[in-house]
Amino acid sequence: MNVSFPLRGEIQAVAKNAGLPYSDAVRDIVRLVAVAQLCSKSFLNEDCVLVGGMALRLRGSNRFTIFDTDSSTRRTPISEQDIADGLSFTADELEISPEDPAYWTRSKKLRTAQPVKYKAFFAGTATVPIEDEFSLTVNERGLMMPPEWFDLLTPYPSLIFDPVPPVPVMHVVEQTAEKILGWCGNSLAKHYLDLGWIARDCLGELDAERLREQCEVKLRINKELFEDFERFNGVDDLVEPLDNPDRYFGPLNRDRDRRETGIRFLDDPMSLEEAKAHIRKGILPLLSG
């Protein structure tokens, strides 16, 4: 895989537009390269797909993801060496080096490769790179539907991959179910805003029967992993948290903090009020059957 990297001015322009520190835009470029590398190494494939905010960006979402890159697999277990090999990248402009897997965390069928360190020579000055880190999560809680494939598009015109890798992404119906359960369990604003974007821009790709089916599966898995999910007896119990997000805190949100302040958009930001309107109009009628 060959990569052409953007110049500092282009990175600064994207960062300014999104209200981000320059270093966060640099990390974003590094994570996009990591996704391309995971595809070129066939780590991401039919059975291990990109999920979360980064995956939604390939569909057109403009929410700027900051630190994590998320994947989900149906083939378990994946060896730590496979993860490390998939992430490793070395070129004159960039080095990506996962930390020793002994430092990684594994809990509730969720493995996190952290830290994944990097040296971004393309973004530094002279021979001094920008050094930082990010994380990759591998969700081993099951992948239910066949993936969809998208080209790795980026907001940086001069970030060019040769060839452009097609990326396997969690099916939008299953992704919507994951976001619903994510909001109901953790009540983080990013999940609600992602659902608002799906309701506005991807509603035609959803249908009630498959969405409820996926929510039932995801709810059953979460109830097996988290005792606090016992409050949700079935899919119908997921409606109220979505319908009235202003006063809702999920059972896994111990700090009662929705973490709204750290959310950034590349352009055209969506407010929680706008997301609520889209969810009420689009998602809730499907979820209610």
In angstroms, rounded to a whole number, what is the distance separating the alpha carbons of residues 97 and 89?
7
CB-CB contact of 182 with 155 (8 Å): no
Q: Which among 101, 49, 51 is positioned nearest to 75, based on CA atoms?
A: 49
Instruction: Estimate the share of the chain in helix, then strand, then coil, as percent rounded to the nearest 5.
Output: 45, 25, 30
pLDDT < 50 stretches in the chain? none
For 77, the token pair is 């277990």
Instruction: Give the pLDDT of residue 75.
Output: 76
DSSP 219-259: HHHHHHH-GGGGG--SGGGGHHHHH-GGG---TT-TT----
The one-letter amino acid code at 210 reads R
Instruction: Give the pLDDT of residue 289.
Output: 66
Per the listing, tokens 């979505």 go with 242
CB-CB contact of 240 with 284 (8 Å): no
CA distances to 41, 135, 220, 240, 288 from 280, rounded to whole Å, are: 41, 33, 24, 11, 11
CB-CB contact of 83 with 136 (8 Å): yes
In angstroms, rounded to a whole number, what is the distance separating the alpha carbons of residues 24 and 21?
5
Instruction: Give the pLDDT of residue 268.
Output: 87
Sequence ranges of the domains in the chain: 2-169, 172-287
β-pairing, 160-162 with 2-4? antiparallel
